[in-house]
Amino acid sequence: MTNKTTQVVTRFAPSPTGYLHIGGARTALFNWLYARHTGGKFLIRIEDTDRERSTPAAVDAIFEGLDWLGLKGDGDVVFQHSREQAHKDAVAELVAKGRAYACFMTVEETDAAREEARAAGHALRSPWRDRTPTTEQLQQPHVIRFKGPLDEPLVIDDAVQGEVRFNTKDLDDLVLLRSDGTPTYNLAVVVDDHDMGITHIIRGDDHLNNAARQSLIYMALGWDVPKFAHIPLIHGPDGAKLSKRHGAQAVGDYAEMGYLPEAMRNYLARLGWSHGDDEIFSDEQAIAWFEIADINRAPSRLDFAKLGSVNAHWIRACDPDRLLGLVTDALRHRGQAHVGADATQDVLRRTLPLVKERAQTLVQLADLVQFALIERPFGLDEKTLALMTEETVGRLKRLHEQLAAWSDWSTEGTDVALKKFLENEGVGMGKVGPVLRGILSGGHPAPDISKIFASLGQAETLARLDTAVFL
RNA sequence: GUCCCCAUCGUCUAGAGGCCUAGGACACCUCCCUUUCACGGAGGCGACCGGGGUUCGAAUCCCCGUGGGGACGCCA
């Protein structure tokens, strides 16, 4: 735990140009975990300084993703766009301090100068860096650039990556205000993080270079540089950067595939962070254990097999009523609109506990429950039909008789009934099992036969037997 | 091309100089359980990228190489 005098404040700052990416989700999770761990605050800021690419739909999508994941911000959401004036004020201050300047290069000139600078072994330097423009010149279109040190060592003390050494000769004088007067990302981030009191910036590795530039701005403004923690990116199963061809990228995709948010949190937290050999842990445990020092430095790959096994655990641990609701939703989602009916809900309530240990996702669970939901009369598959010899039919009729008189329809009870029947018949389960399964399940995947009995209930079991045997 | 980061089983990882003949999880294989498919149980396969140092001793520290990744915008 950190000391009480300076409360930890973390933030998640996505740019609303699309859905909430799985990598972004983990970044958000780490920020959230660290804030919870330290008793600090977790804030959300929408980085919409690029008005062209930012859309309200994307903002909604991001919040939908965060809500589903259960990651709520502690304060009001900050929209970066709304803080334009603060950004401009900071730039004015930098100009006044001689730490920023007007640059009149055109885009073409800038490109050429950049080429030239690279060839010379350093970053872009504007010829306007040391000129004082006249009042007339200032009427012309221009950008405001940061005036960084030309050739000095710069060390970023990163909580994950350690001491990262740069030289300012490789850092160009980045644009603070565009020629239309709007602030750029690198400037806005610094001003907002400072004003929001962010103490720890936990974000993707791809920002490590920005950290160098940003820290220069902090220092120029005379502000404390927050603690940086750059976490490695998540890669696809093939080790390449996560992209469309890897399939699911949006957290919404994972919801749709039937993963539980708590499973997602568990899996994502374990991806790139560890607490010894612990694999399955609750939110409370993750919060208690989460230290930035335990975040790994190497990028990690997404592994659906492992995600599935973690999800299977949380499906089993899921509260029955909640699971019923989730499966009902999944069934509706696939077009089974009638599943909300009381009778169907009863069937599901009985069936779910009997099959839930077989599923890795809610979608699989929805499949596993189909055998109980199909409506009579349904045909028998060929395999089952082939088993319906005269001898078997006679046997099934006797079974029907015995079951009709049996009262205990718990799984254990029907198991006893079945065993007794087999004993009386003097045959093994192999003689009856396959055909009975076919008749009762309609060819759908189904659990043990006694569990099928318990799931269907006496009336439905007898009815299904009836239609098969007497057709 | 320049700058930066990274490197333990197929994957996620444990490991902070001797506890390591390198541990766990997922995946995979075998067997058991069994009416199907699963679940479960018992085993098994399987890694310190390479080369130099430092040290009595290195997966752990240093250097070089190689291989991955990221960044080089008036995008964020």
Name the more confident of A3 and A86.
A86
Per-residue pLDDT, A237:
80
> Is the confidence at residue A437, as pLDDT, over 90?
yes
Place of tokens 């708590």: A262
Contacts of A219-223 spanning 24+ positions with Cβ under 8 A: A220/A94, A220/A97, A220/A99, A220/A100, A220/A146, A220/A147, A221/A90, A221/A93, A221/A94, A221/A190, A221/A194, A223/A190, A223/A194
> Is the confidence at residue A45, as pLDDT, over 60?
yes
Q: What residues are paired with A295 via a beta bridge?
A: A273
Residue A122, nucleotide of least CA–C1' distance? B2
Place of tokens 């029947």: A421
Q: Running DSSP on this structure, what letter comes out for residue A182?
A: P
Residue A277, nucleotide of least CA–C1' distance? B24
The candidate with the shortest Cα–Cα distance to A129, out of A162, A157, A101, A95, is A101
Residue A275, nucleotide of least CA–C1' distance? B14
Looking only at the bridges linking them, the beta strands covering A175-177 and A200-204 are unpaired
Q: Running DSSP on this structure, what letter comes out for residue A444?
A: S
Question: Among the options A4, A97, A241, A244, which is catalytic?
Answer: A244
pLDDT band of A471, cuts 50, 70, 90: low
Place of tokens 């400072």: A194
Q: Please measure the distance between the N-terminal and C-terminal CA atoms of chain A and give it in whole angstroms.
A: 72
> Is the confidence at residue A241, as pLDDT, over 90?
no
Q: Running DSSP on this structure, what letter comes out for residue A98?
A: T
Bond before A261 cis per omega within 30 degrees: no
Q: Which residues, 6+ apart, have CB-to-CB distance to A451 below 8 Å? A: A354, A355, A411
CB-contacted nucleotides of strand B (7 Å): 1-8, 10-16, 23-27, 34-39, 68-76
Whole-Å CA distances, A143 to A52, A72, A103, A234, A353? 19, 37, 5, 35, 65
Place of tokens 């780490």: A30
Which whole number is the average pLDDT over A358-367?
96
The candidate with the shortest Cα–Cα distance to A73, out of A10, A140, A156, A26, is A10
The candidate with the shortest Cα–Cα distance to A356, out of A377, A333, A384, A327, is A327
Nucleotide B23: nearest residue by CA–C1'?
A277
Residue A422, nucleotide of least CA–C1' distance? B35
Per-residue pLDDT, A231:
95
**A431 in active site:** no
> Is the confidence at residue A236, as pLDDT, over 90?
no
Q: Running DSSP on this structure, what letter comes out for residue A272?
A: S
Residue A274, nucleotide of least CA–C1' distance? B13
Residue A400 corresponds to which amino acid?
H
- What does the angle CA A191 – CA A197 – CA A203 come to, to the nearest 5 degrees? 75
> Is the confidence at residue A243, as pLDDT, over 80?
no
Per-residue pLDDT, A101:
95
Give, in Å, how far the C1' of B59 lies from the CA of A31: 31
pLDDT band of A5, cuts 50, 70, 90: low
> Is the confidence at residue A216, as pLDDT, over 50?
yes
HEC states along A153-197? EEEEEECCCEEEEEEHHHCCCCEEECCCCCECHHHHHHHHHHHCC
A352: left (phi > 0), else alpha (psi -120 to 50), else beta?
Answer: alpha
Residue A221 corresponds to which amino acid?
L
Per-residue pLDDT, A1:
43
Give, in Å, how far the C1' of B7 lies from the CA of A264: 27
Tokens at A286, concatenated = 């993750």
Per-residue pLDDT, A288:
97
Per-residue pLDDT, A201:
97
Nucleotide B37: nearest residue by CA–C1'?
A445
Give, in Å, how far the C1' of B15 lies from the CA of A229: 22
pLDDT band of A109, cuts 50, 70, 90: very high
Residue A118, nucleotide of least CA–C1' distance? B2
Q: What percent of chain A has pLDDT over 70?
A: 99
Report pLDDT digits (tens) over A292-328. 999 999 999 999 999 999 999 999 999 999 999 999 9
pLDDT band of A390, cuts 50, 70, 90: confident
Nucleotide B68: nearest residue by CA–C1'?
A239
Q: Which residues, 6+ apart, have CB-to-CB distance to A462 below 8 Å? A: A400, A403, A404
Give, in Å, how far the C1' of B54 lies from the CA of A294: 28
Give, in Å, how far the C1' of B17 lies from the CA of A278: 26
Give, in Å, how far the C1' of B72 lies from the CA of A124: 11
Give, in Å, how far the C1' of B58 lies from the CA of A276: 22
Per-residue pLDDT, A3:
45
Tokens at A20, concatenated = 């909430």
Name the more confident of A382 and A218.
A218
Of A27-36, A140-149, A181-190, A402-411, the range with the lowest mean pLDDT is A402-411
Whole-Å CA distances, A376 to A50, A150, A352, A455, A468? 58, 81, 21, 15, 10
User: Are A371 and A438 a contacting pair, CB within 8 Å?
Assistant: no
The candidate with the shortest Cα–Cα distance to A372, out of A385, A355, A388, is A355
- Reported ipTM: the value is 0.94
Tokens at A278, concatenated = 């612990």
Whole-Å CA distances, A309 to A23, A30, A93, A121? 20, 22, 54, 51
Of A77-91, A123-137, A197-211, the range with the lowest mean pLDDT is A123-137
pLDDT band of A2, cuts 50, 70, 90: very low
Report pLDDT digits (tens) over A91-106. 999 999 999 999 999 9
pLDDT band of A192, cuts 50, 70, 90: very high
How high is the mean pLDDT of chain A?
A: 92
> Is the confidence at residue A384, as pLDDT, over 70?
yes
The angle, 0 to 180 degrees and rounded to 10, between the axes of the packed helices A185-195 and A208-221 is 60
Give, in Å, how far the C1' of B13 lies from the CA of A190: 35
Which whole number is the average pLDDT over A165-187?
94
The candidate with the shortest Cα–Cα distance to A207, out of A176, A178, A229, A192, is A229
> Is the confidence at residue A267, as pLDDT, over 60?
yes
